[in-house]
A = this chain, B = another copy of it.
Amino acid sequence: MIVPAVIPCGTCPACQAAKPTICRRQFMPGNDGDGGFATHVLVPSQGLCPVPTTLPDGLTLAMLSVVTDAVTTPYEAVRRSGLGPEDVAVVVGAGGVGGFGVQIAASLGAAVVAIDVDPLKLELASKHGAKLVLDARSTDLKGLRAAVRSFIKDSARQGIGLKIFEMSGTPAGQTTAYGLLDHGAYLAVVGFTPQAIELRLSNLMAFDATARGNWGCPPDQYPAALKFVLEGKVALAPFVEKHPLEEAPAILEAVAKHALRRRAILQPNQGKRMQ
Contacts and interface: CB of A to CB of B under 8 A. Distances in A.
A196 B189 contact: no
Contact of A209 (B158, B195, B196, B213): B213
A158 B13 contact: yes
As for how many copies of this chain the complex holds, the number is: 2
Residues of A in contact with B, size category:
35 or more
Interface in A150-185: 158, 160-161, 166, 169, 174, 178, 183-184
Interface string A191-210: 11111111111111111111
Nearest to A166: B201
A42 interface: no
Given A190-B205, A199-B199, A199-B201, 17 more contacts: A17-B160, A22-B207, A24-B183, A166-B201, A178-B201, A192-B202, A196-B198, A196-B201, A197-B200, A201-B211, A204-B211, A204-B213, A209-B213, A210-B210, A210-B213, A211-B211, A211-B212
Contacts of A14: 160, 183-184
A228 interface: no
